[in-house]
Amino acid sequence: MPDDQEFPPDLDVLIRTGISDPIAIGLAQTLLEEAEIPFFAMDRNTAARQESGNFIGWWNVRVPRDREAEARELLRSVEDAR
Protein backbone atom coordinates (compact mmCIF):
# COMPACT_ATOMS: atom_id res chain seq x y z
CA MET A 1 0.00 0.00 0.00
CA PRO A 2 1.28 3.49 -0.69
CA ASP A 3 2.81 5.36 2.23
CA ASP A 4 0.24 8.15 2.05
CA GLN A 5 -2.78 5.85 2.38
CA GLU A 6 -4.83 6.05 5.57
CA PHE A 7 -5.15 3.09 7.93
CA PRO A 8 -8.30 1.22 6.81
CA PRO A 9 -10.54 0.28 9.76
CA ASP A 10 -11.07 -3.31 8.55
CA LEU A 11 -7.38 -4.19 8.98
CA ASP A 12 -7.81 -5.43 12.51
CA VAL A 13 -5.10 -8.07 13.01
CA LEU A 14 -1.54 -7.02 13.84
CA ILE A 15 1.11 -9.46 12.67
CA ARG A 16 4.53 -8.99 14.21
CA THR A 17 7.29 -10.42 12.05
CA GLY A 18 10.98 -11.03 12.54
CA ILE A 19 11.65 -9.43 9.17
CA SER A 20 14.01 -6.45 9.32
CA ASP A 21 16.07 -6.73 6.12
CA PRO A 22 14.88 -4.21 3.47
CA ILE A 23 15.07 -6.81 0.69
CA ALA A 24 12.99 -9.30 2.70
CA ILE A 25 10.50 -6.54 3.53
CA GLY A 26 10.18 -5.79 -0.20
CA LEU A 27 9.61 -9.48 -0.94
CA ALA A 28 6.99 -9.78 1.80
CA GLN A 29 5.20 -6.68 0.56
CA THR A 30 5.21 -8.01 -3.02
CA LEU A 31 3.84 -11.40 -1.92
CA LEU A 32 1.00 -9.75 0.01
CA GLU A 33 0.17 -7.53 -2.96
CA GLU A 34 0.24 -10.46 -5.42
CA ALA A 35 -2.07 -12.45 -3.13
CA GLU A 36 -4.34 -9.37 -3.06
CA ILE A 37 -4.23 -9.27 0.73
CA PRO A 38 -4.88 -5.72 1.90
CA PHE A 39 -2.32 -4.62 4.47
CA PHE A 40 -1.00 -1.61 6.31
CA ALA A 41 2.70 -1.53 7.20
CA MET A 42 3.35 -0.25 10.70
CA ASP A 43 6.33 1.75 12.01
CA ARG A 44 7.77 2.86 8.67
CA ASN A 45 9.22 5.95 10.29
CA THR A 46 12.46 5.40 12.24
CA ALA A 47 11.45 7.76 15.05
CA ALA A 48 8.07 6.03 15.40
CA ARG A 49 9.80 2.63 15.61
CA GLN A 50 12.07 3.88 18.38
CA GLU A 51 9.11 5.41 20.25
CA SER A 52 7.24 2.11 20.16
CA GLY A 53 10.28 0.11 21.27
CA ASN A 54 10.82 -1.40 17.82
CA PHE A 55 14.38 -0.11 17.54
CA ILE A 56 15.56 -3.15 15.55
CA GLY A 57 13.16 -2.31 12.74
CA TRP A 58 11.03 -5.44 12.54
CA TRP A 59 8.31 -5.18 9.94
CA ASN A 60 4.81 -5.28 11.44
CA VAL A 61 1.66 -5.29 9.33
CA ARG A 62 -2.08 -5.14 9.86
CA VAL A 63 -4.31 -7.38 7.76
CA PRO A 64 -8.02 -8.25 7.70
CA ARG A 65 -9.01 -10.97 10.15
CA ASP A 66 -10.39 -13.17 7.35
CA ARG A 67 -7.00 -13.15 5.55
CA GLU A 68 -4.82 -13.55 8.65
CA ALA A 69 -3.90 -17.22 8.12
CA GLU A 70 -2.88 -16.66 4.50
CA ALA A 71 -0.87 -13.55 5.39
CA ARG A 72 0.92 -15.34 8.24
CA GLU A 73 1.84 -18.21 5.91
CA LEU A 74 3.31 -15.82 3.32
CA LEU A 75 5.24 -13.85 5.93
CA ARG A 76 6.52 -17.03 7.57
CA SER A 77 7.86 -18.21 4.19
CA VAL A 78 9.87 -14.98 3.91
CA GLU A 79 11.18 -15.33 7.47
CA ASP A 80 12.17 -18.96 6.84
CA ALA A 81 13.98 -18.07 3.61
CA ARG A 82 16.61 -16.05 5.48
For residue 43, being part of any structural domain is answered with: yes
Which stretches of 6-56 are assigned E, i.e. beta strand?
Answer: 13-16, 40-42
C-alpha distance across the termini of the chain, in Å: 24
Q: Which amino acid is at 8?
A: P
From the CB of residue 56, how many other CB atoms can be counted at a distance below 10 Å?
A: 8
Confidence (pTM): 0.73
Higher pLDDT, 77 or 51: 77
| Number of separate domains in the chain | 1
Give the CATH number of the domain where residue 33 resides.
3.30.70
Give the chain's length.
82
CA 60 to chain centre: 4
> What are the residues facing 40 on neighbouring strands?
62
Share of the chain above pLDDT 70, in %: 68
- pLDDT tens for 36-71 read 999 988 766 556 555 666 555 567 889 999 999 999
Of the pLDDT bands very low, low, confident and very high (cuts 50, 70, 90), residue 34 is very high
For residue 24, being part of any structural domain is answered with: yes
